[in-house]
Structure 1
Amino acid sequence: MADHQISPDEALHARLQQAQKFKEAGNQSYKEQHFRDAVRRYHRALLQLRGLEPSVLAPLQAFGALTPALTQAQEQELHNTQIDCYNNLAACLLHMEPVNYERVREYCLKVLLQQPENVKALYRAGVAFYHLRDYDQAHHYFTEAARREPKDVNVKRYLRLTETELSSYRQKQQQMYLGMFR
């Protein structure tokens, strides 16, 4: 029986498929509110995709590595899976105690780099910045989310909270400066 050597194209396709399966399993765990398991599965999906990006592959090809070029459809699938995983990781982390707001911010910013109009990522980034007490950035993200989803009650609520914090901060600043000149 001859050993069947899989081609680089087949290996690439298999990794994309495996990443998709991990993401779908993560989605199922999320629906069942098994957030730690979902996080694990999203991370495994991202590991499958690591090193497949064209920007990473080009320098490797100069060293003679057998890495096939991604088709446009494969590249789109890769980016969509990454974006979904990062967005879903942020959602999971917001349900886990203690919430790691730094990581939520990091994941949301990765999503927004690729999809600046992604309302869920805008909202979650705002939540992260709010809890990290960066109210200017929180306000920016909530304002963008509200512009795209004006009826979203959660966005409206956080936008009001952020505006209250900013107003309070500005009043304290004003009082401090007034005190300096008396």
Structure 2
Amino acid sequence: MTQLTKSNEQVLNELLNDDADVDEYGEWTEQAAARVTTKQQGDGEEEYGHVKLRKPIDLETLCASKGQILELDQNELDPAELARAATQMAMDDVKENQQQQQHMTDQFINNELKSTIPSKDLFSHRLIDNTQDFDDQLGGMQHIIKTNGTDGTPLDNVPSSEAAGGIWKQIIYAGVGETPSLGSTVRVHYNAYFELNDEPYDSTYIRRRPCEFQLGKFNVLPGLDLAVRTMQRRERAKFIISSDLLYGEHGCPPRIPPKSWSVFIIELISWIDCTLVEKLNQLKTKDDELIEDFDERMRIAQTLRDMGNDEYAKHNLERAIRYYAKGKQFLLKTKTSDENQIKQYKDLLLKLYLNSAQCYLKIRNYERTLKNCNEALQLEPKNIKALFRMSIAYRSLQQFDQARMHLNIAINIEPYNAEIIDEAQRLDRAMEQQKKTEQKLYYRMFNN
């Protein structure tokens, strides 16, 4: 074997793979030695690959020093190598710019989120923390109903310290509209917990069905009936109710212990004033105009809409359509006297048209859908819901030009609406499918 100097071995260690270029005895192979010799040949310059250095390098000096700057001989560089290096540098620059832009975008989004998303503390009050004693929780709640704590006898005009029981309330998030009146039919969701227990012992969410009852009839626990009377539609609130308004002194063993107080987290989904509906049912169609009071007529029409919404939530679409139709018919006979009444009238009538259109769209009655949407657009020409539902109806009827026209109007109003963008994609697919079907039809016509 060719004997190598120490410097040659250092070159080998840098340029060659040790495992591949030593034999079974650990000596350098003739092929490895030949490659080192070839590397050292030339005109006195060290060459690595296709790149030549301006000055030779003393490897011992390089190893002993902290580092040197290696200057390339530009005249000796391969043009292909130069092109590859330039391309790589350009790609690196593009990648760096993209990373910088992405970082700036992420930073911008984070800043926007900080200004639009409430802090974590604002969400904490929505969480159910039943790990504290009721006495500790009552301090931050309002004592809305006071009782003697034994048989539910109400105590009026007495301080909370003298009332042993009752109902305490804390609003989690506020609702809208008025509180339900006695006799109204309400639909609620709730979770009920015992003290120091995070697992509900009763839950409409677990049953996947809201609780529906009539206020004042006490078909449910007295405390639940009294608590719901203080709520607005879509309100969610926390109540602590004493045992005298729930299961009493004896409870209902083994599930309900004696003298059990409970936490109720209640959400009022909807309520319907049945007294107005009964009054409307007693009237004949020709007698509708006898009700001259504008506010009362608006309450009746709103109640009919609420009843339609309630049936829609139960997937009883036909019954919902009938309630909406009664509401429209009753409202169209209503007379207005000022701008405020005209606005209330149009707002409620618009909702009735849109709700009817949604029901007809669900049952695939597209002609009635279009009719109600057109009526809605007469009241509000740029209503997004009406334009969107008209586009779906026209697409379902394969009237793609009309569907595209109404959808483009909606896109111009709300270009970033996700539902509108999805409908545009569905419309494109439907048009493409129709085009393919027509091509197949023409092919069969001319090739038979």
Equivalence for 1:126: 391
Per-residue CA shift, 1:53-107, capped at 9, x if unaligned? Answer: 5xxxxxxxxxxxxxxx5222221111111110000111112222xx110000111
How far apart are 1:45 and its partner, in Å? 0.7
| Structure 2 Cα separation of the partners of residues 51 and 9 of structure 1 | 10
Checking the alignment, whether the CA contact within 8 Å between 2:291 and 2:297 is kept in structure 1 is no
**Superposition deviation, residue 8 in structure 1:** 7.0
State the alpha-carbon separation in 2 of the partners of residues 70 and 21 from structure 1.
Answer: 22
The answer on 1:72 being equivalent to 2:339 is yes
Q: Is the 8 A contact 2:301 2:330 kept in 1?
A: yes
For 1:46-65, what aligned pairs fall within 5 Å after superposition? 46-52=328-334
How far apart are the structure 2 equivalents of 1:110 and 1:117? 12
Q: What amino acid maps onto 1:79 in structure 2? A: K
Pairing of 1:134-173 with structure 2 (within 5 A) = 134-166=399-431
What is the correspondence of 1:1-182 to structure 2 with a 5 Å cutoff? Answer: 10-52=292-334, 69-96=336-363, 99-166=364-431
Residue 389 of structure 2 aligns to which amino acid in structure 1? R
Aligned equivalents of 1:116 and 1:35: distance in 2?
A: 26
User: SS in structure 2 opposite 1:70?
Assistant: coil
2:325 partner amino acid: H
Name which structure has the greater RCO, CA cutoff 8 Å, separation 6+.
1
Matched-pair contact (CA < 8 Å) for 2:311–2:319: yes
* Alpha-carbon distance in 2 for matches of 1:47, 1:114: 16
The Cα shift of 1:155 comes to 2.1
Q: Give the conservation status (yes or no) of the 8 Å contact 1:126–1:137.
A: yes
Structure 1 residue 23: Cα displacement: 1.1
**Cα distance change on mapping 1:18 and 1:9 into 2, 3 Å:** closer
Aligned-pair Cα RMSD in Å: 3.0
Tell me the SS of whatever aligns to 2:407.
helix
- Amino acid aligned to 1:20: Q
Q: Does the CA contact (< 8 Å) of 1:16 and 1:48 recur in 2?
A: no
Partner in structure 2 of residue 179 of structure 1: none
Residues 85 and 168 of structure 1: is their aligned pair in 2 closer, same or farther, counting only changes over 3 Å? same
Whole-angstrom distance in 2 between the partners of 1:103 and 1:144: 21
- How much does 1:38 deviate? 1.6
- Are residues 137 and 80 of structure 1, via their aligned partners in 2, closer, same or farther at CA, if it must alter by over 3 Å? same
CA distance in 2, matches of 1:92, 1:46: 14
TM-score using structure 1 length: 0.70
- Which segments of 5 or more consecutive residues in structure 1 lack a partner in the other structure? 1-6, 54-68, 177-182
Structure 1 runs of 4+ aligned residues shifted over 6 Å read: 168-171
Aligned residues: 154
Structure-1 separation of matches of 2:395 and 2:292: 45
Task: Return the index of the structure with the highest Cα Rg.
Answer: 2
Shift in Å at residue 131 of structure 1?
1.2
Instruction: Give the letter for the 1:92 counterpart.
Output: C
Correspondence for 2:24: none
**Normalised by the size of structure 2, how large is the TM-score?**
0.31
Deviates more, 1:44-53 or 1:121-130: 44-53
Q: Which amino acid aligns with 1:118?
A: N
Once the two structures are aligned, what percentage of the paired residues are identical? 25
